[in-house]
Amino acid sequence: MASTDMVRLEDLHAGRSPLSGRKHVLSILVENKPGVLARVAGLFSRRGFNIDTLAVGPTEDPEVSRITLTLDGAVHPIDQVTKQLHKLVNVLKIRDMEPEETVAREMALFKVSAAVENRAEIVQFAEIFRAKIVDVSRRALIVEVTGSHDKIEAFESMLRPHGLLEMVRTGEVALARGGD
């Protein structure tokens, strides 16, 4: 008998748990063609995957767009998500961004009710968070802030008590650190 006892069945293990338990940022390069976003979004809804944030835009190559989306790896099997995405012919490349090796940023605009007595405090928060006041009116300010998802969450929680009238967030965009 040749080396058959090298692989005992009890030593075989299936891959790691399909649920990672953390947030994932997927950077998806797609062909810049009509309907591609619908295909990607449709795949998520059909398979019951819930997108937390979504950002779409051009890349350095005019024929290629980048879809950056975040989803919860505690709920969704990320391997299965990426494998299904790969089956779309218009999807060129998918990167499941490693948090430590990624620069991820989100932008948000907050319209805050800003009576005269509150204004100074809001401006002070904005400075601390390196946010900018981009519009001022008698009753409200619009504050622009850029940063990580957590920073924006923190800023939002600071502003909320002052009367958050409206807000808009872009969803995260991300690039891998380093030269490749």
Q: Which stretch binds another protein (CB under 8 A): 32-40, 121-129, 145-153, 156-164?
A: 32-40
58 sits near another protein (criterion: CB under 8 A): no
How many angstroms separate the CA atoms of 138 and 159, rounded?
A: 18
Q: Which stretch binds another protein (CB under 8 A): 12-20, 95-103, 115-123, 127-135?
A: 12-20
How many angstroms separate the CA atoms of 130 and 67, rounded?
A: 27
- Total chain residues near another protein (CB under 8 A): 34
Residues sharing a CB contact under 8 Å with residue 125, sequence separation 6 or more, in sequence order: 131, 155, 158, 159
Nearer to another protein, 83 or 139 (CB): 83
Per CB under 8 A, which of residues 72..91 are in contact with another protein? 79-80, 83-84, 86-91
Instruction: Say if CB 88 and CB 41 are below 8 A apart.
Output: no
How many angstroms separate the CA atoms of 142 and 29, rounded?
A: 33
**Residues making contact with another protein (CB under 8 A):** 1-9, 12-15, 18, 30-31, 34-35, 38-39, 42-43, 46, 79-80, 83-84, 86-92
